């Protein structure tokens, strides 16, 4: 007897919004809402594709999705227990096969997007203080006041100014 063929794709493909002026876990003045945040392991990175017709250098990479911290269902895409994440934003990222990473995706035109740069952070271990900080931030509904005691942690990733900005915005809103 023939087994039915599964049509569920095990790969989540996410576009690179290379033109966005900000990247990382704290974009926008008050911290834009995440569409997808996950912890993963770099499985493979292709060689860069040099193409004069493109405005950026494409370099595809594949990440094993190990743990999803938050996800929203969007009109054109949704995280549905896919095992792999694929995007072409890996050019000049300081990661290699086997590295553990924390990945931040946002919504763009009803789909997931990754603005590159600091939207993929290398994590040393599962109890990395930055990972614990971002988990608390997500559990609080992205309440930036939850990050106040963690500003120094984010400095190590070059994100101190961004963290201070979202905290200041939240404090200003709390006064209203």
Neighbouring C-beta atoms of residue 97, cutoff 10 Å: 11
CA dist 85 and 40 (Å) reads 9
Residue 176 confidence (pLDDT): 62
Q: Which residues of the chain have pLDDT under 70?
A: 1-8, 176
- The answer to whether the beta carbons of residues 24 and 164 sit under 8 Å apart is no
- pLDDT tens-digit map of 79-124: 999 999 999 999 989 899 999 999 999 999 999 999 988 999 999 8
Neighbouring C-beta atoms of residue 52, cutoff 10 Å: 4
- The answer to whether the beta carbons of residues 11 and 81 sit under 8 Å apart is no
Who contacts 97 (Cβ-Cβ below 8 Å, separation ≥6)?
A: 42, 43, 44, 45
Query: Sign of the CA dihedral 128, 80, 72, 105?
Result: positive
Q: Which CATH number fits domain 11-175: 2.40.50.120, 3.40.50.720, 3.40.50.980, 3.40.50.1240?
A: 2.40.50.120
Residue 150 confidence (pLDDT): 95
Triad 109, 112, 113: Cα angle to 5°: 90
The two structure tokens encoding residue 151: 């500003």
pTM above 0.75, yes or no: yes
Residue 2 confidence (pLDDT): 52
Question: What residue spans define the domains of the chain?
Answer: 11-175
**Strands (DSSP E) along the chain, which ranges?**
11-13, 15-16, 36-45, 61-71, 84-87, 100-108, 111-114, 120-123
Residue 7 confidence (pLDDT): 47
């Amino acid at each position: 007897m023939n087994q039915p063929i599964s049509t569920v794709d095990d790969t989540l493909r996410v576009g690179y919004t290379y033109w966005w002026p900000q990247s990382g876990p704290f974009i926008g003045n008050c911290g834009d809402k995440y569409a997808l945040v996950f912890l993963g392991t770099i499985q493979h990175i292709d060689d860069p594709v040099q193409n004069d017709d493109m405005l950026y250098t494409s370099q595809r990479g594949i990440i094993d999705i190990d743990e999803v911290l938050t996800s929203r269902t969007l009109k054109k895409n949704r995280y549905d227990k896919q095992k792999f994440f694929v995007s072409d934003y890996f050019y000049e990222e300081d990661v290699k096969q086997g590295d553990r990473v924390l990945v931040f995706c946002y919504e763009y035109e009803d789909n997931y997007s990754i603005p590159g740069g600091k939207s993929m952070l290398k994590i040393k271990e599962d109890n990395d203080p930055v990972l614990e900080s971002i988990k608390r931030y997500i559990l609080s509904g992205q309440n930036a006041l939850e990050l106040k005691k963690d500003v120094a942690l984010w400095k190590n990733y070059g994100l101190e100014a961004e963290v201070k900005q979202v905290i200041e915005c939240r404090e200003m809103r709390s006064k209203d």
